[in-house]
Amino acid sequence: MSPSGYLRSTARILVSIALFASVGSAHAQTDPLPSWNDAPAKQAIVSFVKATTTQGGAQFVPPADRIATFDQDGTLWVEHPMYSQVMYCLSRVGPLVKDKPELKNVEPFKTVLSGDREAIGKLTMQDLEKILAATLTGMSTDEFQAQVKPWLAEAKDPRWHKPFNELTYQPMKEVLTYLRANGYKTYIVTGGGQDFVRVYADQTYGIPPEQVVGTMGATTYGYDKNGKPMLTKDPKVLLNDNNGGKPEGIHLMIGRRPHAAFGNSPGDQQMLEYTKAGDGARLAMLVFHDDATREYAYGPAKGLPDTKVGTFPQALYDKAQKDGWIVISMKNDWKKIFAFEK
């Protein structure tokens, strides 16, 4: 066979393989969101992805602009009875007092050490801030990572007695995977500490450190006793990544407006507004915790109990209806909440 004949015949065979492969994959195509009921919320996600990734379509979004942002607590994983990061900080008070015995009889550390749940539950926001500052700052960034990792591996939540990173919502993990498979860069945009969430975001959600936007603390560059460079975590907040801080954090860290944003509480409202204010197809969704049997039910929207952690007020529900944001009912939209469910 002449070289050009070889190439022609190779080309024909490659075309056959391509056709064969595409037929094969069409047959093998599976539902990207199997934990979702076939209802409007699921349809909205699928329509959005199709509209923004169909080349030549009116709502096509170039791959570089495909940004999707996700709140974490209550959106990607359980936030009740208390944010996991607060549980972490309380767990660190013991080791902290071992290092600094002078704190043993000082409030609020004394109350935390007592183990008296009722008394701990009554700590004020100021007390909590003292605990957060004492357990999240003052160490090097490397030491901090080394403190969080074993906690993640060992700590269990009080209801299911499972590690926190098993209490992630399977339907939302499917959304992350589905968006990434369609060229979206997925970001966490959380009120939680940026350094804290980065420790486990890759392993838990497939989201690398540079795609975690959180409440940002200052660090100071310096040298350890051997002259090795280090960064020390300061008790100074650079940006509180809640409410208006979410779009501010998105601008700071990403520099682009998201095309899709997911949240579950008033702290996410401005992120969803900012997302929807862009041109073309934009998706804004809120997770509504209305399933006390499989997870928790809290509002006060729709007459559900008002709780202190991660509320969903009626005003937010009404705004969602008015502005075309989609409310995800955990009870009705999700076939399965956790991967460990039967």
188, 215 contact by CB (below 8 A): no
Nearer to a second copy, 135 or 219 (CB): 219
CB of 254 to a second copy, least distance (A): 5
- Of residues 35 and 269, the one with the C-beta less far from a second copy: 269
CB of 128 to a second copy, least distance (A): 24
CB of 103 closer than 8 Å to CB of 149: no
Token code pair at residue 45: 């996600």
Rounded CA separation 231/93 (Å) = 22
Nearer Cβ to a second copy (7/106):
7
Indicate the residue among 38 and 323 with the shorter CB distance to a second copy: 323
* Residue 10 CB, nearest approach to a second copy (Å): 6
Beta carbons of 61 and 52 less than 8 angstroms apart: yes
* Between 64 and 154, CB nearer to a second copy: 64
Identity of the residue, 271 or 285, whose beta carbon is nearer to a second copy in the bound complex: 271
Structure tokens at 136: 């999240």
Residues that bind a second copy in the complex, under the rule CB under 8 A:
10, 13-14, 17, 64, 141, 185, 194-195, 198, 202, 208-210, 212, 216, 218-222, 228-229, 231, 238-239, 243-245, 247-248, 251-256, 270, 273-274, 277
Q: How far is the CB of 212 from a second copy (least distance, A)?
A: 7
**Alpha-helical regions (H) of the chain:** 3-28, 40-53, 84-99, 109-114, 117-121, 125-136, 141-154, 170-181, 194-205, 245-253, 269-276, 314-323, 330-333
Separation of alpha carbons 237 and 235, rounded Å: 7
- Nearer Cβ to a second copy, position 14 or 39? 14
CB-based contacts of 215, cutoff 8 Å, min separation 6:
190, 191, 192, 193, 194, 237, 239, 240, 241, 242, 245
CB closer to a second copy, 200 vs 334:
200
Cβ 150 to a second copy, closest distance in Å?
20
Task: Name the minimum Å distance from CB 230 to a second copy.
Answer: 8
Minimal CA–CA distance to 36: which of 193, 154, 178? Answer: 178
Q: Long-range contacts of range 137-143, CB-CB < 8 Å, 24 or more positions apart?
A: 137/217, 137/233, 137/234, 137/235, 138/232, 138/233, 138/235, 139/232, 139/233, 140/224, 140/230, 140/231, 140/232, 140/233, 141/195, 141/219, 141/230, 141/231, 141/232, 141/233, 142/230
Q: How far is the CB of 9 from a second copy (least distance, A)?
A: 9
The least CB distance from residue 236 to a second copy, in Å, is 11
